[in-house]
Amino acid sequence: MTRVGDEEPTGHARTDADVVVVIPTYNEALTLERTVSRLRTAVPTAHILIVDDGSPDGTGELADKMAARDSRIEVLHRAGKQGLGRAYVAGFGWALDRGFGYLVEMDADGSHQPEELPSLLAAAGNADLVLGSRYVPGGSVVNWPRRREVLSRGANTYTRFMLGLGVHDATSGFRVFSASALRTIDLASVASQGYCFQIDLAWRAVCAGLRVVEVPITFVEREQGESKMGTGIVKEAFLQVTRWGAGHRLRQVRSAVRAPAFRGNADES
């Protein structure tokens, strides 16, 4: 069960030095350095892992130069564009192997405001997963085309309906996981991408009984570079959520059908 906004403590202890921000990149040379600079100002002691998928625009080389100047920056180079979900899974695996306690998802393009990360990290002390949410009170979207916002809101509404997921922004890519949460949800079996990857991990967290909270953020449309969101990613999310939702509803029906039989047997005994 997800509990949004509940402030009961869970016993997590966090320091910024225990935090790694995983930033996947593909052709983000125009935005990466500025984003990392802002991040370093916002959370000075956090570690940063840049996961680059062989960007042809030189993003990987730029990341290496940044890492040479800053001992808290690491770069994971991958051969070719393999997708957002696989980039995060690779980055999370790297960070878990090195004992980090809190793992952050954040885009390189400036759409996620580094200055808001301290608020997400503060909430992480009382949660297993913190979602930076555009669609809770205080959250907002800036400079997005109307069509894109309608698509995003529609995807989240459909997800809540199909999965009974009690969060408002399951597609958000700005979030904080505790290490124990990621170990619980079986990263090795995650194969989804894009919107679907974000929904997948939130859904797994809820199904595992982990505590999920939402913190309002302001999402700002990128000013430089090109969006990686394509029709295929949207289609994948729609089809997968439909499959998950159908399975979820079927389990509910089976549970409801079995329950009277069990009560009847108990009455007869």
Asked, for residue 265, whether it belongs to a domain, the answer is no
Share of the chain above pLDDT 70, in %: 84
Note the pLDDT tens digit of each residue in 167-225: 999 999 999 999 999 999 989 888 787 778 999 999 999 999 999 999 999 999 976 55
Share of the chain above pLDDT 90, in %: 66
Confirm if 195 and 84 have CB atoms less than 8 A apart. Answer: no
Instruction: Please give the structure tokens belonging to residue 168.
Output: 């408002």
Asked, for residue 179, whether it belongs to a domain, the answer is yes
- pTM of the prediction? 0.85
The sign one gets for the Cα dihedral 233, 198, 131, 100 is negative
Residue scoring higher pLDDT (114 or 239): 114
Q: How many domains does the chain have?
A: 1
CB-based contacts of 27, cutoff 8 Å, min separation 6:
55, 56, 57, 59, 225, 226
Q: Kindly tell me if the per-residue pLDDT of 47 is higher than 50.
A: yes
Asked, for residue 268, whether it belongs to a domain, the answer is no
CB-based contacts of 154, cutoff 8 Å, min separation 6:
none
Checking DSSP bridges between strand 129-133 and strand 140-142, what pairing results, if any? unpaired
User: For the domain that residue 225 is a member of, what is the CATH number?
Assistant: 3.90.550.10
Task: Report the alpha-carbon distance of residue 63 to residue 60 in Å, rounded.
Answer: 5
Note the pLDDT tens digit of each residue in 49-58: 999 999 999 9
Angle between helices 194-207 and 231-268 (to 10 degrees): 20
Asked, for residue 186, whether it belongs to a domain, the answer is yes
What mean pLDDT is predicted for residues 232-243? 76
Q: What is the span of the domain harbouring residue 33? A: 16-258
Beta-sheet strands, E only, within 83-126: 102-105
Mean pLDDT of the chain: 87
Asked, for residue 2, whether it belongs to a domain, the answer is no
